[in-house]
């Protein structure tokens, strides 16, 4: 492991807005009241990477709480440090494997979920690793409040189509979807937030896919 990664891993241990592995389990069902010290809605960004969406959403919506989730601590470091430096107090980060989501959040605790440019896991043999595989969708269904939405942004056309198909097969409700976000009429200040990877894709004229759906 490089010196920069080691430094970042050591530094996030001191961040009050980062919970690693089992540290977050004690907050199950109490993220708003215990960490954020309020009763505001809680929104998750899964596979948050450097946390660009988490931090930008928190800036746009100071009356909501945002938690970025990823397993790579050196990436979380960037978002957590930005939030600290800019005094954005409605942001936290959780370093866990997303398949363990139910160990950290109570049924109906979450108001909305964002999945931004996850690894598409394109090989058929890795279908179960896709963040919109039915087993993951069932986890999201458990933690979301009634009427809560899941949002996926991806440059990967196969993952987008796969997600649309699975959502339809399982009888869930699609609210919005497009395979060319920036030529659609869906773009607003939220969907205009761009991650590090999205900016790279757009430089190469890659189309961006978006779908929003709910379970009821």
Residue 193 has pLDDT above 70, yes or no: yes
Is the Cβ–Cβ distance between 199 and 153 less than 8 Å? no
- Give, for 92, the enclosing helix (H) or strand (E): strand 91-95
Q: Do the strands 209-214 and 173-178 form a parallel or antiparallel pair, or are they unpaired?
A: antiparallel
- Percentage helix, strand, coil, to 5, in the chain? 40, 25, 35
Listed by start position, the domains of the chain span: 3-214
Task: Give percent of the chain with pLDDT exceeding 90.
Answer: 87
Residue 119 catalytic?
yes
| Joined tokens for residue 149 | 């939405």
Predicted pLDDT of residue 111 = 98
Catalytic residue among 22, 103, 119, 216, which? 119
Residue 35 has pLDDT above 90, yes or no: yes
- 125: Cα within 13 Å, side-chain hemisphere: 0
* Whole-angstrom distance, CA of residue 48 vs CA of residue 35: 19
When computed from its CA atoms, the radius of gyration of the chain, rounded to whole angstroms, is 17
Helix (H), strand (E) at residue 18 = strand 18-20
Q: Judge contact between 18 and 12, C-beta under 8 A.
A: yes
- The whole-angstrom separation of Cα 77 and Cα 209 is 27
Sign of CA dihedral 100, 105, 107, 108: negative
The answer on pLDDT for 205 being more than 90 is: no
Model confidence band, residue 74 (pLDDT cutoffs 50, 70, 90): confident
Say what the alpha-carbon torsion angle 9, 14, 19, 25 is, to the nearest 10 degrees: 120
110-130: pLDDT as tens digits: 999 999 999 999 999 999 999
Mean pLDDT of 54-61: 97
Query: Measuring CA to CA, how many Å separate 137 from each of 144, 149, 204?
Result: 10, 12, 31
Check if the beta carbon of residue 79 is closer than 8 Å to that of residue 93. Answer: yes
Beta bridge partners of 92: 67
CATH number belonging to the domain at 3-214, selected among 3.40.50.150, 3.10.20.30, 3.40.50.1580, 3.40.50.720? 3.40.50.150
Q: Which two tokens stand for residue 155?
A: 């440059």
Report pLDDT for 2. 67
């Amino acid at each position: 492991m490089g010196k920069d990664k080691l430094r970042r891993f050591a530094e996030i241990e001191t961040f009050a807005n980062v919970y690693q592995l089992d540290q977050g389990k004690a907050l199950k069902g109490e993220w708003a009241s215990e960490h954020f010290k309020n009763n505001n809605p809680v929104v998750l960004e899964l596979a948050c990477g450097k946390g660009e969406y988490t931090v930008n959403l928190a800036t746009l919506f100071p009356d909501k709480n945002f938690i970025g989730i990823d397993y790579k601590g050196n990436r979380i470091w960037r978002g957590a440090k930005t939030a600290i430096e800019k005094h954005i107090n409605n942001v936290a980060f959780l370093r866990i494997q997303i398949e363990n989501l139910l160990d950290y959040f109570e049924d109906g605790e979450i108001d909305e979920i964002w999945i931004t440019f996850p690894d598409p896991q394109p090989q058929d043999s890795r279908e179960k690793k896709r963040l919109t595989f039915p087993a993951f969708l069932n986890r999201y269904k458990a933690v979301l409040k009634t009427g809560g939405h899941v949002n996926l942004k991806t440059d990967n056309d196969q993952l987008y189509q796969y997600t649309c198909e699975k959502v339809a097969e399982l009888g869930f409700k699609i609210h919005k979807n497009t395979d060319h976000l920036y030529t659609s009429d869906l773009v607003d200040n939220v969907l205009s937030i761009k991650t590090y990877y999205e900016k790279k894709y757009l430089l190469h004229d890659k189309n961006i896919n978006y779908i929003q759906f709910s379970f009821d």
